Amino acid sequence: MAGMNRDARIYLAGHRGLVGGAILRRLQAEGYGNLVTRTSAELDLRDQAAVKAFFEQERPEYVFLAAAKVGGILANSTYPAQFLYDNLMIAANVIHASHKTGVRKLLNLGSSCIYPRLAPQPLREESLLTGPLEDTNRAYAVAKIAAIELCDHYRAQYGDDFISAMPTNLYGPGDNFDLQGSHVLPALMRKIVEAREANAPQVEVWGSGTPLREFLYVDDLADACLFLMQNVSESGPINVGTGKDLAIRELAELIAKEVGYTGQLAFDASKPDGTPRKLMDISHLGKLGWQAETSLQIGIQKTLDWYSSNVSPRIVE
Ligand SMILES: NC(=O)C1=CN([C@@H]2O[C@H](COP(=O)(O)OP(=O)(O)OC[C@H]3O[C@@H](n4cnc5c(N)ncnc54)[C@H](OP(=O)(O)O)[C@@H]3O)[C@@H](O)[C@H]2O)C=CC1
Ligand SMILES: C[C@H]1O[C@H](OP(=O)(O)OP(=O)(O)OC[C@H]2O[C@@H](n3cnc4c(=O)[nH]c(N)nc43)[C@H](O)[C@@H]2O)[C@@H](O)[C@@H](O)C1=O
């Protein structure tokens, strides 16, 4: 693994999040014992001086950048200034401090929303910066594009081995189940479980139900992150997904089936649909040698098991 042996000093930023939690489980399971973590209360990554001091003191050799201001369509469109500022600052501070302290390799996490709203489907890496972005998450996407550019220019100018993975929509154990702030899959899972328990006749689904989305189980993403850290050194975004998508209505029906809920779906047209489709072209990562393993049905079952047995799942507004 490009030098990342079991003793390597690894900083995992965002270890309490959906993605960071999955990477942490995986690193621990594989015997990586020299891990550095901080909560946002211990180290606010928007604070340049604090980030500089942390890197100078801890001297990580490898960095997984999974800390970010993250949310679903409503949070993104309600708090665009925070999504832009926080994510610009986090990325600039962590990437620059990594450069200054000689980090050997950094993996930056972006998102499929970086691609133009009307780019050809499936979305190829080459479509970056070829057209206007989707309005509901433009601020977040601009910050994520800036982070890719930082990695690429630090590679070009300084020779830093900084790479960028672009996952599709994620879900799994450790997700945020807040009904306003979360993404669609955890939100629908919680609403449908609660509707079954209350014998409610219907469940509210935002928008028209027609937008298409692709979902990757977060443990598969963690596997991809380790694969990329171990095997890949190149500039530009690297798509990570399953290559399959489905309509939001179909997703709601699938969750209802797994939950055992037989009520109606009520579509709320006052809520935004967002981008009509964002299916990833995953051929580049496939050629490099990685593919996802967990089907959506199995992933939903695992997430449902976790959610049902977790007394207080994470709720972040
Ligand atoms: N969820 C998804 O569907 C997708 C996520 N991604 C990307 O994956 C990455 C991780 O996302 P995800 O795990 O879902 O997000 P989460 O919201 O689950 O976790 C993000 C983590 O970032 C940390 N964090 C946030 N702000 C700060 C800050 N100012 N200083 C330090 N730490 C901070 C939080 O730490 P703490 O808990 O200590 O407050 C939190 O645990 C992001 O870059 C995101 O763009 C990409 C595609 C889809
Ligand atoms: C990962 C990705 O995630 C976001 O983009 P998004 O895919 O549009 O986000 P979403 O998961 O919130 O919604 C997907 C679809 O689902 C519909 N929908 C139905 N019912 C609920 C519902 O109850 N909650 C939510 N959140 N959505 C619902 C909703 O109306 C939309 O049509 C950005 O943060 C973006 O920046 C980003 O990176």
104 labeled part of a ligand binding site: no
63 falls within a domain: yes
The answer on 96 and 198 residing in a single domain is no
315 falls within a domain: no
Of 19, 23, 217, 315, which is best to mutate to test ligand 1, by the most ligand atoms within 8 angstroms of its C-beta? 19
Q: What's the gap in Å between 95 CA and the centre of ligand 1?
A: 16
287 falls within a domain: no
The answer on 202 and 88 residing in a single domain is no
Look at residue 295 in the predicted model and tell me its pLDDT: 98
The answer on 205 and 84 residing in a single domain is no
Q: What's the gap in Å between 168 CA and the centre of ligand 2?
A: 12
For residue 115, the domain's CATH number is 3.40.50.720
Domain, as residue range, for 253: 184-212+245-278+295-310
User: What span, in angstroms and rounded, lies between the C-alpha atoms of 192 and 254?
Assistant: 11
Ligand nearest to the CA of 138: 2
173 DSSP 8-state letter: T
Q: How many CA atoms lie within 13 A of 70 on its CB side?
A: 24
Query: Given the CA of residue 45, which atom of ligand 1 is nearest to it?
Result: 30
The answer on 150 and 204 residing in a single domain is no
Q: pLDDT tens digits, residue range 264-295?
A: 999 999 999 999 999 999 999 999 999 999 99
Average predicted confidence (pLDDT) for the chain: 97
Number of independent structural domains in the chain? 2
Of 15, 36, 40, which is best to mutate to test ligand 1, by the most ligand atoms within 8 angstroms of its C-beta? 40
Q: What is the ipTM of this complex?
A: 0.99
288 falls within a domain: no
The answer on 193 and 149 residing in a single domain is no
The answer on 155 and 19 residing in a single domain is yes
The answer on 204 and 120 residing in a single domain is no
87 labeled part of a ligand binding site: no
- As a whole number, mean pLDDT of residues 12-40 equals 98
Sign of the four-CA dihedral 49, 51, 159, 59: positive
The answer on 110 and 199 residing in a single domain is no
Look at residue 1 in the predicted model and tell me its pLDDT: 42
317 falls within a domain: no
- As a whole number, mean pLDDT of residues 90-119 equals 98
Query: Given the CA of residue 38, which atom of ligand 1 is nearest to it?
Result: 38
The answer on 221 and 197 residing in a single domain is no
283 falls within a domain: no
Of 18, 19, 183, 208, which is best to mutate to test ligand 2, by the most ligand atoms within 8 angstroms of its C-beta? 183
User: What span, in angstroms and rounded, lies between the C-alpha atoms of 30 and 213?
Assistant: 31
With b for 16 or more beta-carbon neighbours within 10 A and e for fewer, the 174-184 pattern comes to bbbbbbebbbb
289 falls within a domain: no
Q: pLDDT tens digits, residue range 55-89?
A: 999 999 999 999 999 999 999 999 999 999 999 99
113 lines ligand 2 (CB under 6 A): yes
Give catalytic status of residue 79 as yes or no: no
The answer on 229 and 88 residing in a single domain is yes
For residue 269, the domain's CATH number is 3.90.25.10
Residue 259 DSSP SS3 = helix
The answer on 99 and 230 residing in a single domain is yes
Asked if residue 2 has pLDDT above 60, the reply is no
Q: pLDDT tens digits, residue range 173-220?
A: 999 999 999 999 999 999 999 999 999 999 999 999 999 999 999 999
38 falls within a domain: yes
Query: Given the CA of residue 13, which atom of ligand 1 is nearest to it?
Result: 32
User: What span, in angstroms and rounded, lies between the C-alpha atoms of 196 and 218?
Assistant: 26
DSSP 12-77: EETTTSHHHHHHHHHHHHTT---EE---TTT--TT-HHHHHHHHHHH--SEEEE-------HHHHH
